[in-house]
Amino acid sequence: MGKKSFSRIPVEANGIQANFCKNPACSNYGVPASTKKQPRGPGAASRGRDNYTVVGSGRSVPAIHCHHCNEYPPLKSNQGISEELARISSYLSIEEVCCPNPACVNHAVGVSVSPSAYQSFGKTKSGSPRYRCKKCGKSFSIKRATTGQKQPHKNKLIFKLLMNKTPFRRICEVADISEGSLYPKIDFLHRQCLAFASDRERKLLDGMAIRRLYVSVDRQDYMVNWSQRSDKRNTILSSVGSADNETGYVFGMHLNYDPSLNASEIEEVAISAGDYAVAFPFREHARLWLQGDYEDAVRRSANPRLNGSLNGQIEDEYDDAVHREDVESSERITGTRMLPAKGTQVHSEYTLYGHFFFLHKLFGGVEKVRFFLDQDSGMRAACLAAFQPEIAARTCDAFYVRINKDMTVDEKRRTLADSRREFRQAQKANPSLSESEVKLMLIKQRMGNMAEIGKWKDRWLLHPFPNMSEPEKAICYLTDYGDYDTDHQAWLYNKASMHGIDCFFMQVRRRLSLLERPIASASATGRRWFGYSAYNPESIVKLLDIFRVFYNYCLVGSDKKTPAMRIGLAKGSVQLEDIIYHQ
């Protein structure tokens, strides 16, 4: 078989081309490398040569060298990003019910989109509404959500039990159903939640006007139990979530797992296509983990260094990124982990890219958006790629936010007391200033003493106003063009927080029995097992989707409002029945 020929960099896919310099201060930011072979030698620039060189083409992860700022962003498969975006956003494109006659002009005209094209025509024996097409006279029915459901009166009880950390066996006991009946119930609730979310969130897709969003983005890992005593390795999957800090609305919670694909079939296709001999970004299935690649990653794995101080943790994260083969991939693959037995695991950086391009679709009507990102080079790259036009137009900014999560309760209290003492002293010294003005003053003082950390000399501000959930916090402004005055910039530093997504993550752990943190035993050599954890990763996908809808539309806060009410997607708290029987 002849050697395959590839373009210089991966070609654009469905409008996505992510292979450009990710340094916002560089003139190459947003300017993709050419897909064509470039002229060389004297006068190459005058013959149309671009400002990149592809390096490491013989390695599994080639990169482009930016001639302007000397950065080396790794190449990514635009097709892989597009596939992940399609998977993540598929719930938004629910198929419309229309005239079943292929020859009729109303065949592609939905009942809900154009009700004037149809006549209500009674109901079926099961109670499903029937319609007749006004053009061809063909009659048809729309099945009710509960058609074919056994014991539909138990749906609400099961929904409530799932959302209140009840283990599956206890749900079966309380609801008086068999375990074989529970999983179809979960499938049904999942379909209904996605249909309900699609109906509401298409308003965002259609450009619903929102003045400002302050969006925190982070990842949470979940464990899948081993199912064979002969192989007690765990599967660890990562979900990226984003939430608005002001309203609490969670826009997405996306697991790096595709349940629709068969890993064995993908492996066969990859081998026959020669994928193992091809660099990752040019593969047919670039976004998916193959077994051989996973085994190679295990052999290359190294334990991360642990540094107690916040600045030390930030430094270690930069150092870890520099030494990775792919700076954007932060997955830790060890010998105690394995790929899922069902479905396929997605390279986490592709889920990150898919997540941010998904947010870009949702935020079309947002006037300005500020992202507060966990310190993760893959997250940074995905955000700066998806929102490049908005960042260049100065309607989008991005910040790293790093929280010291290793402090004891006593250390948190001491830090909080020190902060309050400093604030009171500043108030005493400046009696003419309001509280907010004192805050800005203290932040501006720290802006003059920011630490440069890591290879890229990023400047980090230690936030002067901690709380118990964020006791020690450092912030790095990733898109600083120097065009904001110091007051504006100080106010943005003050807004920087992971509060929105952290609240959701905390509720996931507290309310979903499958996703409670596992406990490692001393003799397990890194392996973990937890009686309530999932055995099938697809259950995690479904429960996260269900819980996101429940959290956004049903759970009220101290202000008696849900996140959906605060952001403008609901007028009141949604009853479970309205989701369960959504048509």
Per-residue pLDDT tens digits for 480-511:
999 999 999 999 999 999 999 999 999 999 99
Whether 209 maps to a domain, the answer reads yes
> Does 206 share its domain with 129?
no
260 pLDDT above the threshold of 90: yes
At residue 58, the pLDDT reads 63
Query: Rounded distance, CA 131 to CA 125, Å?
Result: 14
> Does 109 share its domain with 123?
yes
> Does 287 share its domain with 407?
no
> Does 36 share its domain with 60?
yes
Whether 426 maps to a domain, the answer reads yes
Q: What is the pTM of this model?
A: 0.91
Domain total for the chain? 4
At residue 377, the pLDDT reads 95
Look up tokens 């729309």; give the residue.
Answer: 142
> Does 417 share its domain with 560?
no
Whether 167 maps to a domain, the answer reads no
At residue 123, the pLDDT reads 87
Whether 400 maps to a domain, the answer reads yes
At residue 147, the pLDDT reads 65
- Which DSSP letter does residue 288 get? B
Query: Rounded distance, CA 542 to CA 496, Å?
Result: 31
Average pLDDT of 349-377?
98
> Does 336 share its domain with 405?
no
Query: Rounded distance, CA 513 to CA 168, Å?
Result: 8
Task: State phi, psi for 186 to the nearest 5 degrees.
Answer: -65, -40
| CA-based nearest residue to 357, from 159, 168, 80, 97 | 80
522 pLDDT above the threshold of 70: no
> Does 119 share its domain with 235?
no
187 pLDDT above the threshold of 90: yes
> Domain range for residue 24?
19-75
Tokens of 200: 């509401």
> Does 365 share its domain with 488?
yes
236 pLDDT above the threshold of 70: yes
> Does 278 share its domain with 304?
yes
Q: What is the pLDDT of residues 158-178, one digit of tens each?
A: 999 999 999 999 999 999 999
> Does 204 share its domain with 338?
yes
Instruction: Describe the chain by its helix, strand, coil percentages, rounded to 5.
Output: 40, 20, 45
Q: What is the pLDDT of residues 73-108, one digit of tens each?
A: 999 999 999 999 999 999 998 777 899 999 999 988
307 pLDDT above the threshold of 70: no
Query: Rounded distance, CA 76 to CA 230, Å?
Result: 37
| CA-based nearest residue to 229, from 516, 520, 529 | 529
Amino acid at 463: H
Whether 322 maps to a domain, the answer reads no
Average pLDDT of 10-31?
97
Three-state SS for 334?
coil
Q: What percent of the chain has pLDDT over 70?
A: 92
> Does 370 share its domain with 463?
yes
> Does 346 share its domain with 367?
no
Task: State phi, psi for 120 to the nearest 5 degrees.
Answer: -65, 135
Poorest-pLDDT segment among 7-16, 19-28, 392-401, 525-534: 525-534
60 pLDDT above the threshold of 90: no
Rounded to a whole number of angstroms, the CA Rg of the chain reads 26
Whether 501 maps to a domain, the answer reads no
How far is Cα of residue 118 from the mean position of the Cα atoms in its chain? 40
Whether 157 maps to a domain, the answer reads no
Whether 7 maps to a domain, the answer reads no
Comparison of pLDDT for 230 and 446, the residue scoring more: 446
